Chains A and B, each alone.
Chain A
């Protein structure tokens, strides 16, 4: 089966609720068949609105959404054949687990035997076989979540939408559910559009992530690319931890630029969005890319004073005052080589200019 690269297609979609503010601006997004794509962003960034437009509960103000090549703006939600998992599960409280799962099959006039088979299969997929006669209120949060997932999948929809489905679960359960959903996706190959504001969740589960802010997709790429090479300072700040330096470009060569920091001092960085001398920039560096007393030659090497040491079990976080930035964070593995990390000590910090990304100044 050839994978359709444009199985779901948002084409120039705008959405406004009040005619004054655009919640979604000129959205162009292609989702391939069988892909797990996550819409990630802070609240109010328009990601849920996009999901609701795809589900059919909101209509685009402008533009069109295509599902498998067909425009769907005029198709009501119940005819789209899109499964959905809601934030608070939205299980029907007056129906048993079996009836909940049978609902989408019954409205499709499927025979009783077939329904039994499909419900059985869906429940064992989420390892809840034997819970058919329970009411949703008798299940734990995690179990309700799994029922909701099973219900969204039981009628074999082409696309499944998930709207922050793990938001109400505690941390451990959330992590195990992430893997469970990921495995279900891998085993049945359904297209999943997942909405969350939790970057950890997005990074663990997705094939691709669309980072939303201010109604626009800031970056659409695979989790590793998103983390390793953010294209602007919003994405760099939003995904993972980040040390930033604000400054001005004073020299640019092909793959290296020199930045004069506002606090004094000069560093070398990798020019991503900056093009020419005199531009303002924010340099972003991941904490784990900076090393203490680097052995090899690195083109950035500066002295910093330890301001705070926070013990984290497997690693220690060290806050430094470096080049006038006293929020500089280092992640140090807890090995015996790093025993001289004491409050007030001065240490040598080095990093490669390719890891320091000079982005837009915001």
Chain B
């Protein structure tokens, strides 16, 4: 039987599907128009900046545009022996143009990053061009290689060739304390300069433990909120939300007042005789401070999803568990807890993702140990102005979050997330 004969017609003889589509079209257009502003907003504030960040992080066009002729003639060079005469000629032409535009300094800087020693030899070439000492009718190869022995070293020409593509992964490698060595392979930076890997691990560690602490503290609170009578639970809810309504900086500052060595908490410990006056423990400018402050600040993000899930769990389920012979613990563990997993998932994901990108609080109360990867990003955005590196690290952070999300989806299933 063909599908044609199967088609159901309306009383007017129009195929049912078509007529349904027509009827739904108006609603679809209406729905689209309603989400349109948000869609535009998201594209402008989210999709576009991330795209911009990505292009910036891999962008290496500057040098590609500086030495167009050199790179063109280098295409046929296999990189084994010294390049041919044409490469030297084009390099001279490109460099001369840069000297005329006073851009040769930038090139030297960029190439020096690729391989140490370029600065000196390019300065030498620059002086020769200024003094018109180069004979444009003679062999460029001979004249240039005689300027400095490094021009005769094939390694330097290889370094130039490596910079030819308009994009580079160097920033991403730098974010993982790796770099492209002279042979074009990936190598680790010297041991005393490997800071990023430490920061990544520290960020993950702090985010993980903050999530764990938030869960341990938030779960009982959420349970209490969901089971207390309305008049008490409202008050408790306000207590949970109150920190939300206070500025982040104010809250962080108050933790500093509380936790410092001459602070209120330490005073109290001394008063009750827990520690001696000249042996006050350091609770700030180390990880303890970071954990305490961040847990307090992120706690509502754990409590709220948990609360909204627990609110939907009928109290008769726990009763059923007990009346069927389960001890209170068994009833909790086998009945109540599994039903709260969607809330746990949502809360943990939320707290972890927020914690992984935190930087003001750890920077203020964490001391030396409070530098996280976000601080590095901010540092490169504001101080070194190496925006492409900041972008690269930002994207790595984003990728990390997506990986966490993916793992979560595999383990629990995103459909199970419940925010309310």
Give chain A's interface residues, CB within 8 Å of chain B: 55-57, 76-78, 80-84, 86-88, 90-94, 103-104, 107-108, 151-152, 155, 161
Residues of A within 8 A of B331 (CB): 78
Is B108 in the interface zone, CB < 8 Å from A?
Answer: no
Q: Would A77 and B322 count as touching, CB distance under 8 A?
A: yes
Q: Would A78 and B322 count as touching, CB distance under 8 A?
A: yes
Other-chain contact of A92, B323, B325, B328, B335 (Cβ < 8 Å): B335
Stretch at the interface among B152-160, B312-320, B383-391: B312-320
A/B pair count, beta carbons within 8 Å: 68
Docked Cα-Cα span, A180 to B319, in Å, equals 25
Docked Cα-Cα span, A92 to B333, in Å, equals 12
Residues of B within 8 A of A152 (CB): 324
Residues of A within 8 A of B316 (CB): 86-88, 90
3 smallest CB-CB distances across A and B, nearest first, come from: A104-B324, A90-B320, A90-B316
Q: Can you give 29 A-B contacts (C-beta < 8 A)?
A: A56-B322, A56-B323, A57-B322, A77-B323, A78-B323, A78-B330, A78-B331, A81-B325, A82-B323, A83-B324, A84-B323, A84-B324, A86-B320, A87-B316, A90-B314, A90-B316, A90-B320, A92-B320, A92-B335, A93-B339, A103-B321, A103-B324, A103-B334, A104-B324, A104-B326, A107-B326, A107-B327, A155-B324, A155-B325
**In chain B, residues 312-360, which have Cβ atoms closer than 8 Å to a Cβ of chain A?**
314, 316-317, 319-328, 330-331, 334-335, 338-339
Residues of B within 8 A of A108 (CB): 325
Query: Nearest A residue to B336 by beta-carbon distance?
Result: A92
Docked Cα-Cα span, A57 to B328, in Å, equals 12
Question: Given A88-B314, A90-B314, are A83 and B338 also a contact pair (CB < 8 Å)?
Answer: no
Query: Nearest B residue to A80 by beta-carbon distance?
Result: B323
Interface string of B287-323 (1 = CB under 8 A from A): 0000000000000000000000000001011011111
Docked Cα-Cα span, A92 to B339, in Å, equals 9
Docked Cα-Cα span, A257 to B391, in Å, equals 100
Known: A77-B323, A90-B319. 14 other contacts (CB 8 A): A56-B322, A56-B323, A57-B323, A76-B328, A77-B322, A78-B324, A78-B331, A84-B323, A86-B319, A86-B320, A94-B339, A103-B334, A107-B324, A107-B330
Closest Cβ of chain A to B417, distance in Å, is 16
Query: Which DSSP category, helix, strand, loop or mixed, fits chain B's interface?
Result: helix
Query: Nearest A residue to B338 by beta-carbon distance?
Result: A94
Residues of B within 8 A of A94 (CB): 338-339
Give chain B's interface residues, CB within 8 Å of chain A: 314, 316-317, 319-328, 330-331, 334-335, 338-339
Query: Nearest A residue to B334 by beta-carbon distance?
Result: A103
Docked Cα-Cα span, A54 to B79, in Å, equals 90
Question: Given A78-B331, A103-B334, A107-B330, are A151 and B324 also a contact pair (CB < 8 Å)?
Answer: yes
Question: Given A90-B314, A107-B330, are A83 and B323 also a contact pair (CB < 8 Å)?
Answer: yes
Docked Cα-Cα span, A107 to B325, in Å, equals 6
Closest Cβ of chain B to A86, distance in Å, is 5
Residues of B within 8 A of A104 (CB): 324-326
Q: Would B323 and A55 count as touching, CB distance under 8 A?
A: yes
Docked Cα-Cα span, A82 to B338, in Å, equals 25
Closest Cβ of chain B to A152, distance in Å, is 8
Query: Nearest B residue to A148 by beta-carbon distance?
Result: B320
Docked Cα-Cα span, A88 to B326, in Å, equals 19
Other-chain contact of A103, B326, B327, B328 (Cβ < 8 Å): B326
Query: Nearest B residue to A82 by beta-carbon distance?
Result: B323
Between B314, B323, B327, B335, the greatest number of chain A beta carbons within 10 A of the residue's beta carbon is seen for B323
Q: Would A77 and B319 count as touching, CB distance under 8 A?
A: yes
Closest Cβ of chain A to B230, distance in Å, is 15
Closest Cβ of chain A to B165, distance in Å, is 54
Residues of A within 8 A of B334 (CB): 92, 103
Query: Nearest B residue to A108 by beta-carbon distance?
Result: B325
Closest Cβ of chain B to A39, distance in Å, is 17
Residues of A within 8 A of B325 (CB): 78, 81, 104, 107-108, 155
Question: Given A76-B322, A78-B322, are A92 and B317 also a contact pair (CB < 8 Å)?
Answer: yes
Other-chain contact of B319, A57, A83, A91 (Cβ < 8 Å): A57
Docked Cα-Cα span, A83 to B331, in Å, equals 15
Docked Cα-Cα span, A108 to B321, in Å, equals 12
Residues of B within 8 A of A88 (CB): 314, 316
Docked Cα-Cα span, A116 to B100, in Å, equals 91
Residues of A within 8 A of B317 (CB): 90, 92
Docked Cα-Cα span, A88 to B331, in Å, equals 18
Query: Nearest A residue to B326 by beta-carbon distance?
Result: A107
Residues of B within 8 A of A84 (CB): 319-320, 323-324
Q: Would B335 and A78 count as touching, CB distance under 8 A?
A: no
Docked Cα-Cα span, A88 to B316, in Å, equals 8
Docked Cα-Cα span, A78 to B334, in Å, equals 14
Residues of A within 8 A of B335 (CB): 92
Docked Cα-Cα span, A284 to B121, in Å, equals 120
Closest Cβ of chain B to A55, distance in Å, is 6
Q: Would A78 and B338 count as touching, CB distance under 8 A?
A: no
Between B322, B330, B338, the greatest number of chain A beta carbons within 10 A of the residue's beta carbon is seen for B322
Closest Cβ of chain A to B83, distance in Å, is 70
Closest Cβ of chain B to A22, distance in Å, is 20
Docked Cα-Cα span, A76 to B319, in Å, equals 11
Docked Cα-Cα span, A93 to B341, in Å, equals 13
Between A83, A87, A92, A93, the greatest number of chain B beta carbons within 10 A of the residue's beta carbon is seen for A92
Closest Cβ of chain B to A81, distance in Å, is 7
Residues of A within 8 A of B330 (CB): 78, 107
Query: Nearest A residue to B341 by beta-carbon distance?
Result: A94
Between B320, B328, B335, the greatest number of chain A beta carbons within 10 A of the residue's beta carbon is seen for B320
Residues of A within 8 A of B314 (CB): 88, 90
Docked Cα-Cα span, A107 to B324, in Å, equals 8
Query: Nearest A residue to B323 by beta-carbon distance?
Result: A84
